[in-house]
A and B are shown apart, each in its own frame.
Chain A
Amino acid sequence: MRLTELFSKKFVVTSEIGPPKGWQIEKCLQEAEHLKGKVDAINVTDNQSSVMRFGSLATCHFLKDRGIEPVYQVVCRDRNRIALQSDILSAAAFGIENLLLLTGDHTKLGDHPQAKPVFDLDSVSLIYAVKKLEEGQDLAGNKLESEPPKFSIGAVVSPCSDPVEPQLIKMEKKVKAGAQFFQTQAVYETDKFVKFMEKAKQFGVPVMAGIVVLKSVGMARYMNENVAGVYVPDNLIEELKKDKEKTKSGQTGIEIAAKLIKELKPYCQGVHIMPLGWDDKVPKIIELAGLS
């Protein structure tokens, strides 16, 4: 099922899982089972944070086998244009229909900082490459044999960045290159997101607001210090501080996430919930936000 077919029918909800550092995938797939039937699709991250892990493509294949709709995340950091196109053709054969195409973090941030950062393509040119594949050609203009593949092409944008204009310009480039839906970086500042959407809605593509569940005061402060395009306002930090037990159990994080979704819902076409390991909390967030 392609996500692009859903936006006209409902407010779309996705979540995500990260493959393990190792080859035994069962535990990770069980985490995805928590979300089965609760969300419309599950993203599988691609060596997230530049840390070498089990493959995104293989994990998506396993999810598909279990009747869970995957969104195959593809980053430009680790493979050149030949390997990227090849893997995307493989995805088509596995029945994977949703892609999320992104530049990817720099190798320096991960567990192999010595690795060569590839970035042969970037997010815009990768979207363009997939569009070409859909038209029956590779990036060099060579004809593909038989039927071309067909995907829902997803991309990312960082709506609370400062300045935001470069993000908007790049978003427009992505749309022109072929992006059909967007998932955003984590949003905590509703007013900034609303202002961003006022400008982004002219591009005419569905936007899913990113929700990262807050686990602790330390995590919020860490993100404010280190994570690009993300700022957790003081009032949310105060809320996390108020009841330590409630925060530790995840209840505060769940409540904040649900509240954010309710506030953002009128301005976007879906939400993408990133639980960062707290997969079991996602159904509760969806319920509290009134989306179940």
Chain B
Amino acid sequence: MIVSQQKPIDEILKMLEGEKSVFVVGCNGCAEVCETGGEKACVELKQKLEASGIKVAGCTVVDFMCNKLLDSLKILRHKKKIDSADSILALTCGIGVQAIASVIDKYVHPANNTIYLGGFQGLWPSIEKCAECGDCVLDLTGGICPVINCSKSLLNGPCGGTKNSKCEIDKELDCGWEKIYNRLKKLNRLENFQKLVKLRDYSKMFPSAELRNTGFYDIEKE
């Protein structure tokens, strides 16, 4: 079970600045249980977006957004609407965002922060990982997580250690920041990389008292 929490609406609107329309995709797995994915959350967020003047070109749910095959099939079914939108807003965990971003050349914004892996770690069927940092930066990095893909978890760009696109710690390991750079360049969003100093807030890694009182945690209590 991956626990996620929706980002504040102001933060979501800030991500969408300069865009006119989005396609909303919600995850029907863990995020649905957390009420941060699934139809209910999608409809509620759709209303908030429209109230703020953002057109929702379409909306769908995927049973498990960490599954790229399911993502791809859903994208195909809604291709026209997705093509007409400026970007995708994904109501899922960090893995779901990265999984869908990896199968489509469209900018994907994360609607949630991922907080906790609960008791069932390691079940997602894709190579994407989430560090549950509680402060999702995938919106800045084109859907490729720098906390996971950079060996130093750098948030402000690559170090000087990239050689032939590989990381200084391992000649077989791709440089995460070069992947992010290539993706942002391809999607014409390099200005995200230029944005100023991102500082990690480690205090967000610990689930708040409010979150610890939700149903999932109750089951875990003795």
Interface residues of A (CB under 8 A from B): 77, 103, 105-106, 108-109, 117, 119-125, 128, 139, 156-158, 161, 163, 165-167, 169-170, 172-173, 176-177, 185, 226-229
Contact = CB atoms under 8 A, between A and B. Distances in A.
Nearest to A231: B163
B160 A161 contact: yes
Interface stretch (B78-86, B110-118, B195-203): B195-203
16 contacts: A106-B161, A109-B169, A119-B154, A120-B202, A124-B156, A124-B157, A125-B155, A139-B199, A161-B160, A170-B156, A173-B196, A176-B196, A228-B161, A228-B162, A228-B168, A229-B163
Contact of A123 (B159, B185, B202): B159
Interface of B: 151-163, 168-169, 177-178, 181, 185, 190, 193-194, 196-200, 202
Nearest to A178: B197
A117 B152 CA distance: 7
Closest 8 CB pairs of A and B: A170-B157, A124-B156, A158-B160, A228-B163, A103-B159, A108-B169, A119-B152, A122-B154
A161 B156 contact: no
A165 B184 CA distance: 12
B196 A106 contact: no
Contacts of B168: 105-106, 109, 228
B203 to A, nearest CB: 11
B160 A185 contact: yes
B197 A128 contact: yes
Contacts of B151: 106, 108, 117
A165 B169 contact: no
Given A106-B151, A170-B157, A177 B163 contact: no
A158 B159 CA distance: 9
Nearest to B156: A124
Contact of B196 (A103, A105, A108, A177): A177
Q: Which of A122, A167, A172 has the most CB of B within 10 A?
A: A122
A119 B176 CA distance: 15
Nearest to A107: B169
Contacts of A163: 178, 181
Contact of A124 (B178, B181, B197, B200): B197
A103 B190 contact: no
A173 B152 contact: no
Contact of B155 (A117, A122, A139, A158): A122
